[in-house]
Amino acid sequence: MKKFLTIAVFSFFFCVCFAACGQASEETLTEGEPKPSINKAQSMEQVAVLAYELPESKPSILISFRGYQAKREKQAVFTSAYPIDNFQVRRAADDQVVLEKTVNYSKAEDGTVGTGSFTELVEEGEYYIFAKGVGRSKSFHIGKSFFAEEFWNMTDKIRDKARENQASLHELAQLLMLYEWYPDLFTDEDENGIPQVLEFLAGWSEREENATLLTAAVMAKFSFLFRDYDRKLATKLLNKASTIFEQEKEGQGTDADYFFALTELYRATGRYEYRKAIEEYVEYFRNHIDFLNREGYLYGAMTYLTTYQKVNLELCNLLMEQINRKAEENAESLTKLTDPATGKNNGPGQIFEQACIVVAANYIMNNPEYNRIVEKVWDYFSGQNVASLDSVSQCEDYAGYLLLLGQLYAVEERL
């Protein structure tokens, strides 16, 4: 927020001089000696008023102050107006220097940017970066299970929201997608043989009264994943999803949520009418190469590519080609959009639109470069940006953040 300061010039200098001289004179007065009087006529004189604007203060040391996985790459970014030779990593508890490194500089679009790696620091604890003449960064945590802890904190918040029917359908869709991709991430806390995530989503599915195509898609997805734990309830929820779909499908045309619902219902039932409706998208996808920018199409594509039902090979090839193409484009774009010092974007929506495709492609091919891109996007949202803003802690809907974090947790041993 910009700050404004109004200064009364004459009064300012008068008060300063008076305070300084008056204090010095007061020390030399003896008890009972009268103090000099103030010229009231002069003090009431009209003064000139000068208003000007102070520049907005920006941090000079950019870090991911939510924290770092112990084994991963760690890098601070320096944006001070003048070069810095060295920086220190200090322990927050006692200010002890634990590492001192050189800052490397490179030319950037908006000036000179310095970077300093502290990857070799793997000991768990709270730290901050210090550079002479610049000061210190915000504190950050290094932990051996950092991504796991962040992931479980986020899923606990979504669970609480779901119990109050406040969770968004995209949050639940991404949670189920992560369960399908990386089931080992999800635990059976009460040891009843059912993963905790499916238990609380079962409660949500039975209570949910919102009738949309996205509701039908998420409910059908859940019923498919839950069928091995409670077939009776899974069948009931599948019928509920099918009923919602039939009620809401008219007039939807090529809507992304319609495609998502079709793929989930087809995988769960194998019905011919769903398969034929899906195959009608071949021409549409061929003529609209950016269709994956809409989440429903991406969700549906990933479901269709992993189904055991009969599929259209032309459609599968088309979906894979577009996922690979868009992931390559987006990886390059995200490097610029989320650059800590120079990144310019239209907010989280633009970044998530691109990052979710990279995450999906990375699940398919496990690309080390995509791992690093996902990691850098997470850092950007976690405070390593020019405003030093932690978007994760301020968000109300965890969709997007959840997908990034879930994959980082899943691949943390490869970072």
Q: How much is the pLDDT for 191?
A: 84
CA atoms 288, 294, 297, 299: torsion sign: positive
Is 245 within a domain?
Answer: yes
Determine the pLDDT at residue 111: 55
The answer to whether residues 201 and 342 belong to one domain is yes
At residue 26's C-alpha, the angle toward residues 23 and 32, to 5°, is 160
Q: Which CATH number is 85's domain given?
A: 2.60.40.10
Q: Report the helix count and the strand count for the chain, using DSSP H and E.
A: 16, 12
Domain range for 77 is 61-143
1 in the same domain as 110: no
30: in domain: no
Domain end point (choices 83, 111, 143): 143
- Report the pLDDT value the prediction gives residue 353, as an integer from 0 to 100: 94
- What's the confidence (pLDDT) of residue 192? 87
Q: What is the pLDDT of residue 136?
A: 93
Tens of pLDDT along 223-257?
999 999 999 999 999 999 999 999 988 866 559 99
Instruction: Quote the crossing angle between the two packed helices 146-163 and 196-207, to the nearest 10°.
Output: 20
Residues with pLDDT less than 50, the chain: 1-57
pLDDT at 74: 95
Residue 39, in any domain of the structure: no
CA–CA distance, 226 with 199 (Å, rounded to integer)? 9
pTM of the shown model: 0.82
What pLDDT is recorded for position 49? 40
User: CA-CA distance, 304 to 260, in Å (whole number)?
Assistant: 9
User: Does 73 share its domain with 179?
Assistant: no
